[in-house]
Structures are given as C-alpha cells and as structure tokens.
A and B are shown apart, each in its own frame.
Chain A
C-alpha cells in the first residue's frame, strides 16, 4: 500500500489552491464566443436534419398517418412514424414492475400534447419543417386526465392498460410506531398541498447528432446528455445493441441543464433510429417550443401531511400521503423523484415515527424527469408549511418550533427514521449564526413598522437538509423487499477520475462528470495542483465523456450535486496514487526516504533539505523515457484511474430503510417580503440563506450555485408553472407564457456559510447546488402566508390567486350592466349565446342550414363544402386572425333536428396550428312579422399549438369567429345582423402571439 502523500502546499506554508476563488479556466473561451456547444460543432458532410411532428392532443388514438406528401417534398430523405421506429428498436424500460411499454414516439395512441408522432429527416431543418406540415394525421380524441387525484378516481380515462386506474405504484411504509404516537399526541395538524409543475429550463435546448455503422451495427452519438449514465444501458437496450456498440459522447460545453438534459435520452433513441434507417448521420436541435411543451418537467404532486405534535411543538410522528404525477409515461429513472427524498422525509428534524403512503400515477402530461432539487421542493413545501401551521396552531414562534425539533448537535452521524445517515452538522449553531448575521431582530422590527403603517409584510423561515450524492439503489425502494431480493442488490455511487502524465511531464485529468457550466475543470485543476505542488494552470482538465474510451460507470454524470463530494474527491485519490509513486521515484533519485518527499512549487524535494530537489516534470516524464530505471516497486506513473464508491451507500434494508444519499448539507433560510396592496405582487425585502455544505472547495462557485438555485427557486415560487387546461391542452408553450425571472425580479440573497466537513467524502465537501430549490419556495410561501394571514398557499404566488385569498366580495356590476360569466378554474371552454333577427321565415332558414352552398358561404374562410350525408358536411377552410393563418379540415354535423325549430351543430376542425371543436344550438322562432328570431348558444374549445403559444389572444378570436358564423347565417337568410367583416376567420384557431417577448 502506498503511503499517503503530504499536502505539499500546506507543508511549505503556502495556501492550498483548494478553497480559493480563482478565476475559471472555462471563462476565456466562453466570453470570447469560442465555446463549443453541440450546435457550434461541425458535422460530417451529408448530415441530415430532423424535425419532429408532435401531437396536438392530450389523449387520442391515431387512426392514420399520411406521409406521402411530406415524403415527396424535395430535400426530404425520410419520414418515420412509430411503426418505422418500432422496427429497429424496443421499448424503453419502465422503472416499476408492470406490463407497460414506454416508446419515445407514439405507436397507436398519443398521451400528451407534444408527444412525437413522426420524424422528418431532410437536408436542412427548414425543409424538414416544411414537410412536417404536409403530414396528415387523423386522431380520435379520448378523454384526458391532468390531475393526479383525478387520475385515480374510478371511471377516469385510463392511459395504459398495464397501469390499472392509472396507478403505476402504491407502496406503504411504516417506521417506529406512528399509530401510537398519533393516538397519544395532544395535537394533530394536517396540510394538503398541490405542488405545481415547473422546470429549470436551460437556455440551451437538447441536441443530438447520431450515426450508425451498418457493418458493425454500432451507433455513435453526440448529445448534450448530462447523465446519469445508467441511462446508457437504457438507450443501448432500446437500440438493440450491447453497450459497447453505443458510443455516447458529450460536447465540450453544455448550456445549462439542472437535471433537464437527462431527458434528452428518448430523443437519442429516436435520432439514432433515424440515422440507422436513413444510413446517414442525423442531427436534431430541439427548439424552444418543443422544449417547453415536451422535454421534461419536475413532477407535480398532491400531498397530505399530518403531524402528531406535543404541546411544546415537538413533532412526534409524521404521516405522509404522496400522490406523484409522472406524466404520460413512467420514463427512467422515474419514479425516482419520489424516492430520492425517502431517507429525508423528516427533514432536519428528530422525528422517530413515520408513516408513508406513496402512489405514483400517470396523467396526460409530459413525462417527468430530473430537475434541480429533484423531489426536495415537493417534500419541503409540505413539511415546512406544516411547521408554520403547527406554530400558528399552538401560538408558538415558528422559529421556536423549528429549533425544538432540530436534530441535536451531538447526534451525528444520525440515522433518520426512514434510513438516511446524516453525516455531519451543527444545525443549532447554523441557525444561531444566521439569526445574528442576518439580523433577524431588525427584520422583525421592520415587519412591525410596516404593519403599523398598514402594509402587508411577512417573515418566513425554513430549515432544510440538502441531500447529495445519490445512492444508485434508492429507486429500488419502490420495490418490495421480496422483489428486491429477486432483482439483486443495487447501491453505491461509483465515481471515476483519471490522472495522466505525458512525456514532458505535464498533467492531464479526466473525469466523467459532464458539467453544464459549473466550473468542474477549474476546481479539479485546484485539487490536483495541490497534490502535485503545481499551479492550476499546469493542470489540464478534460470533462468530455466518450463511453468508448473513458472510465465511467452508471453513476457518472452531473446530478444529485455529486461533483464536489464524489468526483473531486476521486480525482484527489487518483492524483495521490500517482504522487505516491512519483515520491518513490524521486526518493531513489534524491537518495532520501519516500516519507521525506514533498511536492511544492513545481519541484519534488526533500523535506529536510529543500535544496535536494528535482523538477516535477522530470520525475513525471520518467515513466515514458526510462521505464527501466524506475524503482521496482514504483510501477508506472503514466496514467492512473481511481474508482470510488462510499461504503455508506447500502441497498434498502428488509424494513425499507434507505440511505438515499451520502451527504447532507444544512440550510436555514429566512426572509422578509412585502405584498403590494393593489397588485398583490410579492417583493422580497431581504432573503437570508445560511449553508453548511461541508468543506468549500471554491467559494465563488459555491455562492454561484446558491445564487443560481435561489433565482430558479424564486421563479418556481413566484412565476413559473407548466399550466395545463382540464382537457390536457398545454397553456405555457413560449417564454412569454412560461415566465422565468429576470434581473428586475431577482435580488441578491444574503449568503452565510459554516463548514462542517463530511466524514464520508475525500475532501470533506458536500453538494450545494440544489438546496435553495428546496428551501426557497417554501420560505417565500411562509413569508407570504405570514403577510396575508392565510393558511393555504399554492405556488406559484400569482397575484390574481392571492387576490382570491384575501379579497372579499367584489362590487357587483351595476344593475342592467354586464355580468361575469361563471368560469370554473382550469375550464377553458368558451361559452356564449346570442340572438339575431332574420327576415326569412323559419322554414327558409331551416333549408339553408342543410344546404352546402349556404354553409360554404357562412362558414368563415370556407373554400369548399362536401356533403357526406344529409346532415354531415366536410369543409376546407382557411382561417386567419390578423396575420395568423392556417388551413384546416372541418367536419360539421347536424343533430337533434326538429324542423323547423331547433338543431344542434357540431363542428371540428384540424390543421397544422391545432384543432378546435364547437357545438352550437340553434333555435328558430317566428317573430310575428314573417321573419324569424334566431337564438344560438355555443360551447367551443381550442387545442394544439395555438393553445400553447397564443392562449391569451385565442379566446377572443374564437368568439369573433363563432359570432361571425351566426351573423353570416342570419345575413344569408336576409336578416339584420352585422355588416360584412373584411376578414375571414374561423373559430378554431387562433391565438397568437401574445407572447412574444418582442413586440413591434
């Protein structure tokens, strides 16, 4: 065994590089426009470009797909549907045991808006999009479910036969004796939470370039995938090749991920399949509309959390009932979002009795996946809202309730009731320092003063344990102990790092960490420079991954905040092994003992006699130039790859206890917010965030992670929601609808640190990147609840929602004036009614309704009408609202005919911009003067692309079109009605653009 190498810099009295905020090695290229992101790299000559046709429906059967017109467009190489993909791939694996398939493209049914239906491959992207518009898909819509609790109600539409009642998993757990604790506790508090859907949405979208070598049946893929590389096995299996025939590489730079780019993997399968089928390299860069609609999102969750509480606020037991909504397919690694926090369901608190029911459901929404915080925001929102409610219920200070329940400072390592082993910490000290440095007393005075002036001001608190370095086995907690025994153990978190010395003695480091901007290359240069007594600039770090050549394992990648704790430490281990051998070589050259060797300032020297030294590069090069002269026991120093996995990460035990993560940082946040009385907008007056993430390797980057996480969490709290209508239409499909925080919304948080090193990691570091995504949303919600004095707070804190909580009855409309249409939340159907005087008699009007020529003239934008039956017509219409135009196929049917008095019209239109359907009831009555009074009512809905990118303007336009139809009908019949409009419109389509951030 090689002896440990002394930390050279410390020995020599110099400051180590680790712990300093040195400038990032990554920055010069990025600041000068020389980054190398996937779409910045060239491709092989002849590479084709793909676009994806996506479902406008949340749930529908695909009756037919006509691709002929698209295929015959010049420049189009192929149009692939589910059938074509199925011929060369197999289903993606599903994370629970159930007879369910999970394809990256719709086979015979679509289950969410945006689900891929066809892939067009052409010589460039624009032509591929031209062709995609020519594909004609016939759908038969099914009922949709979007609410996780609604999905498991009996009679709800079912997405997958293999998930009866849409339930993919239902497991109950029990730790300690929760029943007894609840029976004996003097108080019980309970809270119902609906945590919304959101996503960290990186600014760079997904990208894939794939090729296939038919001779070797091997794929080569470049993708801005982020890991975990357990997914490599999923992709290879889907492509029907062994792992060694799927070479997956990542580009040098990646434009942010925050978990999201894990979700590129289904597209890797699709684009690789397209490359195989076309025999050409194929490139696909996701566009923003695709990304928002269909890339991936965090889970939304319905939680009921109850606590048994003693009179002093001590929590004696928790009872969790979590219903996790994973969207339309259970894609790997789901239901990981739910189980990632399993060991941490008691948060920062010492609670020994816990009861859990975890249900996983599928709904007609985009499948979920990794997102910064990964399960933490959902858990802590319930837990920390409940803590505030306990305080209010018991008339205690919320901070006192937090302190009463914190895990004791002397208890570490601490095993939670559900199995996590909390490595280190001193939560009381962290809270005390935050209260002092963050000036809580003064903040309370500010609140008092504001309230005295009649302003709405509140303070919120949160204490959070931030898990990092996931145990690859936590997901198996979804299986029963018996199922796990059958499947074999899964656990650990293998990290790899390679340190190489070249023939001139310069040092290269490679890790499989796949950064997306975190600065891994810089930190690794610091870590390794310290070991070798060099400067960071002497170390060249490569973080690209190539699964055909590099050391990697299933845990490789950038997720679960594992870099500082696991990867950087592994690099240190690899460097130390090399340094140990170099020390032996140098010792023999310098005629000293290896124990006397120190690495400092570019030299390998004797500690006792620093003048006795040799240049590092000279020792480092020896393995290349003169291997024969090395001491026998030294071995080579050309390259060393270290593998490291912590022994603490064991599989779930027989009682379902799971140490779901290796490290556990601590965060204590508090904040003051003011709510504007008129707008009910939330302004953050002060935000204090205290972190203990163990040893800090680079303070600037740690604060960067905290600020970035804080800003994303602020977005989740105040602005961001992937909104769906009840029919499954997606409503936030542009960056003008899905609102990300900007400079005018994000203040500077006050950041404080303390460092309690982790005993479980080589450098003492813990993860830090995800914590504020867990703590900040609920901290802000607690402050807003405090300001408004309300109990139920739902994110995001949309001012109009707060208005519903705090504003009393609205002043009624003046007598005889307009009245508010009754609208249920989430119901986007448009309803209306009207009346028109018509000169002709009812019989005359009636005849027109059944006449194609009349229909053609009254359906706005109608070009031709074919009569299918006496009461069924098919029409081609071109509709335009302002500049928004599209062609649609419309079906109009008449029902419930009671000539010449009443009829029901049902219409449906479908086109590239989306679809619409409307039902109208027409009543004809003689007006006593030979004319007719035509009364109508309608009920319409619009979906597809126009709904997701133009929601704001859509409804108004629809009303215009429907009104036009009836007005035109009346006019045709010789009625009064409105004058002819100079434009042609139709109902279905419309909406547009509000959104566009830009406006003319």
Chain B
C-alpha cells in the first residue's frame, strides 16, 4: 500500500500552480491537506503524474469577512476556520457542521476547499456550501470564474471544475441573524454521514439541504409549511433524492431520516 510514482511540485506562487495545471491537465492533482487524496494515492486509486502542493502559499490561506460574505482561500484548513473568532456569528451553520468533519487529527490538516474539490456527497462542507448558496472561485492561466454551489457539484466526486482549474477559494454569504440548524446521523462519530441535514430560515420561508442521500447535496426552499403540508413536502423531497442501499444503511432508512430530521430541524428554525 504505497503510492505510485509522481513528480512533486512545491508551488511558490499561484501562477506556478496554474502553470502546472495547464501543462499537466488531468494528470495533475492539487495537494492541499491531503486527507482524501493521500489515502487514494496509498490505495493506488489515483495515479497523477504531478502533485502540486499549495500549502506554502500564504495568499491562499485567507479567511476574511468582506461585507456580507466570507471568503475562504484554498489553503485554509478546517481547523483554521473552526478557530476563526467570527465563525459563530458570521457562519453559524458552518460552526455547527464543521466539528462533524472527520476528527481533530484530520481537521488540523484538511482544507475547506479540498473537501469541496473531493465532492463526497456525504461530506459536511459541500452540504454547507449548497445550503448557504455559496460560490466557488475557479481560475486557470487564462481566466477566473465563479460558479454557484448548486452548479458546482456534478455527481459523486465530480465537479464542474475543469482539469486545468484551481479552486482558488469560496465565498459564503453571511445571513444576518439567520436561524439555522444542523444534524447528522452516522454510524460512528466522525464517519461520513448516512444523512446530514441543514435547515435555515429564509426570507420566503425555510430551506432544507440534505447530504448523504443523493449524488450531490441538494437544497430545497419552501414557504413556511406545517402539519401535513410539511409532511407531504418532506416525503416528496425524501423520495426525489433517489436514496440507495449500501452496507451501512438502506434507502428506506435514509428517507425516514430525511422526513424525521427534516421536520425537527424545520421546526427548530421556524420556532
């Protein structure tokens, strides 16, 4: 269980990163925290020709509030964000979800953007990005572009990032005074979610986002529903997610959790 061979590039600037991606395309991988990529390399599931280490680039480490958004750079580690003093006030949903990401020993290295790039449908950060309606900043040697969270995730481990693009960072909206709730069910503490739900009160009503069920995290907006109307809406949503069986849970169990936890969380944020 040793990695295959690859070149290692310790980037000294973002330009070098983009140059490396441009030259090597799909055979290059960005190495940030390495918490998913290195495991895949050890298992020889991935065989890049070039790893580009971006963790010495100070300019990518930012966690910064700009008006009503928070900008998080590609090099910001999960532990950095957890320790950010403004987190609970600016991004209450993230402050609820982030402790569920892996363990302290992986959050200390793993990055926020790395988790998004990996696009595991059960991971918490993709769910938070979708729930909050954040944006992803992509950049190659020629251009920069922004893409909305819901358009970024294309499937299990698939994103809209082109092979020559770097995820430079993301922005998450600060929703002032928003009521949010988060709950996750996993087999053990720190495991990938069987179902993770995030709820948020919106101007028009309420939003529920679900991870771990469909191929990508999915958010749904409703007016303020209650009673059977809410039950019906949740049931329809649960079925639409296309849950499947695996070793750890059945599709039915996942739908049950979406219905029950969804109802609880919506109740909490609408209270």
Q: Closest residue to A913 on the B side, CB-wise?
A: B45
Q: How distant is the Cα of A287 from the Cα of B232 in the complex, in angstroms?
A: 49
Question: When each residue 190-213 of chain B gets 1 if its CB lies under 8 Å from chain A and 0 otherwise, what string results?
Answer: 111010000000000000000000
Q: Is the CB of B40 within 8 A of A992?
A: yes
Which of chain B's residues 228-256 have a Cβ closer than 8 Å to chain A? Answer: 231-232, 235-236, 239-240, 242, 244-253, 255-256
Interface-central residue, A807, A881, A993, by most chain B CB under 10 Å: A993
Q: Is the CB of B215 within 8 A of A739?
A: no
Shortest A145–chain B CB gap in Å is: 20
Q: Contact mask B17-41 → A, CB, 8 Å, 1/0?
A: 0000000001001001111111110
User: Which residue of A is nearest B259, CB measured?
Assistant: A811
Q: Cα distance A41–B38 when bound, in Å?
A: 26
**Interface size of B by Cβ–Cβ distance < 8 Å?**
77
CB atoms of A723 and B187 under 8 A apart = no
Q: How far is the CB of A885 from chain B (nearest CB, A)?
A: 6
Question: Is B101 an interface residue, CB under 8 A from the partner?
Answer: yes
In the bound complex, CA of A742 to CA of B102 (Å):
13
- Indicate whether A529 reaches chain B with its CB closer than 8 angstroms: no
Closest Cβ–Cβ distance, residue A909 to chain B (whole Å)? 16
Q: How large is the interface on A (under 10, 10 to 19, 20 to 34, 35 or more residues)?
A: 35 or more
Does residue A732 face the partner (Cβ distance < 8 Å to B)? yes
Q: Is the CB of B111 within 8 A of A884?
A: no
Chain B residues within an 8 Å CB radius of A950: 45
Q: Once the chains bind, are A678 and B157 in contact (CB under 8 Å)?
A: no
Q: Which residues of B contact A953 (CB under 8 A)?
A: 120-121, 156-157
Interface membership of A957, Cβ < 8 A: yes
Tell yes or no: B66 within 8 A of A by CB: no
- Given known A810-B255, A999-B106, contact A956–B156 (CB-CB < 8 A): yes
A883 touching B106, Cβ below 8 Å: no
CB closest residue in chain B, given A813: B239
Contact pick for B249, options A732, A742, A799, A996, CB 8 Å: A799
User: A999–B115 contact, CB under 8 A?
Assistant: yes
Contact in complex: B106, A817 (CB < 8 Å): no
Contacts A883-B37, A952-B192, A995-B192; A983 near B158 (Cβ below 8 A): yes
* Contact residues in B for A481 (Cβ distance below 8 Å): none
Partner of B114, one of A678, A799, A993, A1000: A1000
Tell which of A732, A803, A818, A993 touches B242, judged by Cβ atoms closer than 8 Å. Answer: A818
Question: Chain B residues near A819 (CB, 8 Å)?
Answer: 239
Q: How far is the CB of A892 from chain B (nearest CB, A)?
A: 24
A883 to B6, CA, bound (A): 14
Tell me if A126 is interfacial: C-beta within 8 Å of chain B. yes
Select which of B43, B123, B194 is within 8 A of A999 by beta carbon: B123
Contact call B36/A996, Cβ cutoff below 8 A: yes
Q: Does residue B143 face the partner (Cβ distance < 8 Å to A)?
A: no
Neighbouring A residues of B40 by C-beta, 8 Å: 883-884, 992-993, 996
A950 to B188, CA, bound (A): 18
Other-chain residue from A125, A798, A998 in contact with B248 (beta carbon distance below 8 A): A798
Please give, as numbers and ranges, the residues of chain A lying within 8 Å of B146 by CB-CB distance. none
Question: Do residues B157 and A996 form an inter-chain contact, with CB atoms below 8 A?
Answer: no
Residue contact B106 to A998, C-beta cutoff 8 Å: yes
CA distance in complex: A995, B248 (Å)? 12
Q: How many A-B residue pairs have CB under 8 A?
A: 208
B46 interface residue (CB < 8 Å to A): yes
Residues from chain A with a CB closer than 8 A to the CB of B171 are none
Cβ-closest chain A residue relative to B39: A996
> Within 8 Å CB of B242, what residues of A?
818
User: A126 CA to B242 CA in the complex, in Å?
Assistant: 41
**Complex CA distance for A125 and B42, rounded to whole angstroms:** 12
Let me know if A647 is at the binding interface, CB within 8 A. no
Give the Cβ gap from B142 to chain A, nearest Cβ, in Å.
16
- The answer to whether A955 and B155 have CB atoms under 8 Å apart is no
Contact with A742, one of B157, B189, B232, B253 (Cβ below 8 angstroms): B189
Q: Is B172 positioned at the interface, with any CB of A under 8 Å from its CB? A: no
Which of A736, A817, A883, A997 meets B45, CB within 8 Å? A883
Mark each residue of chain A from 954 to 967: 1 if its CB lies under 8 Å from any CB of chain B, else 0.
Answer: 01110010000000
Q: B13 interface residue, CB < 8 Å from A?
A: no
Instruction: Say how far A680's CB is from chain B's closest CB, in angstroms.
Output: 8
Contact with B along A819-854 (1 / 0, CB 8 A): 110010000000000000000000000000000000
Residues of B within 8 A of A287 (CB): 1
Task: Provide the residues of chain B in CB contact with A732, threshold 8 Å.
Answer: 247
Q: Determine whether the beta carbon of A814 is less than 8 Å from that of B232.
A: yes
Does the CB pair B260–A999 fall under 8 Å?
Answer: no
Please pick, from B46, B48, B188, the residue contacting A744 in the complex, using a CB distance under 8 A.
B188
> Within 8 Å CB of B32, what residues of A?
1000
Within 8 A of B (CB), among A662-683: 678-681
A129 part of interface (Cβ distance < 8 Å): yes
Among residues of B, the one whose C-beta sits closest to the C-beta of A744 is B189
The reply on A11 being an interface residue by CB < 8 A is: no
Cα-based distance from A77 to B8 in the complex (angstroms): 28
Q: Which B residues, 133 to 186, have Cβ-Cβ distances below 8 Å to chain A?
A: 155-159, 162-163, 185
| C-alpha gap A783/B264 in the complex (Å) | 28
- Please tell me if the beta carbons of B39 and A885 are within 8 angstroms of each other in the complex: no
* Contact among B5, B119, B240 with A818 in the assembled complex (CB-CB below 8 Å): B240
What separation, in Å, do the CA atoms of A741 and B156 have in the docked complex?
27
Q: How far is the CA of A819 from the CA of B236 in the complex (A)?
A: 10
* A953-B120, A998-B39, A1000-B115 known; A745-B253 Cβ under 8 A: no
A739 and B45 in contact, given A678-B260, A810-B256, A993-B40 (Cβ under 8 angstroms) = no
B257 within 8 A of A: yes
The answer, yes or no, to whether A880 is at the interface (CB within 8 Å) is yes
B48 contacts A883, C-beta separation under 8 Å:
yes
Residues of B within 8 A of A742 (CB): 188-190
Interface assignment of A982: CB less than 8 Å from any CB of chain B: yes
Contact B247 A723, beta carbon cutoff 8 Å: yes
Is B253 within 8 A of A997, CB to CB? no
Interface string of A716-740 (1 = CB under 8 A from B): 0001010100000001100011010
- In the bound complex, how far is the Cα of B47 from the Cα of A882, in angstroms? 11
Asked whether, in the complex, the Cβ of A951 is within 8 Å of the Cβ of B155, the reply is no
CB neighbours of B259 from chain A (8 A): 811
User: Do A736 and B119 form a contact, CB below 8 Å, given A803-B256, A951-B247?
Assistant: no
B110 on the interface (CB 8 Å rule)?
yes
Asked if B118 lies at the interface with its beta carbon under 8 angstroms from chain A, I say: yes
- Provide the A3-24 mask, 1 if CB < 8 A to any CB of B, else 0: 0000000000000000000000
Known pairs A949-B43, A960-B158, A1000-B110; A719 contacts B188 (CB<8 A): yes
CB B21 to nearest CB in A, in angstroms, measures 14
Q: Is the CB of B158 within 8 A of A883?
A: no
Q: In the docked arrangement, what's the CA distance between A810 and B45, Å?
A: 38
Cβ of B219 < 8 Å from any Cβ of A?
no
In this assembly, does B72 line the interface, its C-beta being within 8 Å of a C-beta of chain A? no
Q: A803-B253, A956-B215 are in contact. Are A130 and B5 (CB under 8 A)?
A: yes
Q: Does B12 contact A (CB under 8 A)?
A: no
Is the CB–CB distance between B245 and A678 below 8 Å?
no
A632 within 8 A of B: no
A68 interfacial contact with B, CB 8 Å: no
**With A739-B191, A817-B239 known to touch, is A883 a contact of B46 (CB < 8 Å)?**
yes
Against B, the Cβ 8 Å flags (1 = close, 0 = not) of A494-521 are 0000000000000000000000000000
B56 within 8 A of A: no
CB contacts (< 8 Å) of A952 on chain B: these are 122, 192, 246-248
Closest B residue, CB atoms, query A953? B156
Residues of A contacting B253 with CB < 8 Å?
680, 799-800, 803
| 11 A–B pairs (Cβ distance < 8 Å), ordered by A | A679-B257, A723-B247, A736-B191, A736-B192, A739-B188, A739-B191, A742-B188, A744-B188, A800-B252, A994-B192, A1000-B34
Chain A positions within 8 Å of B, measured between CB atoms, are: 125-126, 129-130, 133, 287-290, 678-681, 719, 721, 723, 731-732, 736-737, 739, 741-742, 744-745, 798-800, 803-804, 807, 810-811, 813-814, 817-820, 823, 880-886, 912-913, 945-946, 949-953, 955-957, 960, 982-983, 992-1000
Name 9 extra pairs, CB < 8 A, besides A814-B232, A957-B155, A993-B36. Answer: A125-B2, A133-B4, A742-B190, A744-B189, A798-B187, A884-B45, A951-B246, A952-B248, A1000-B34
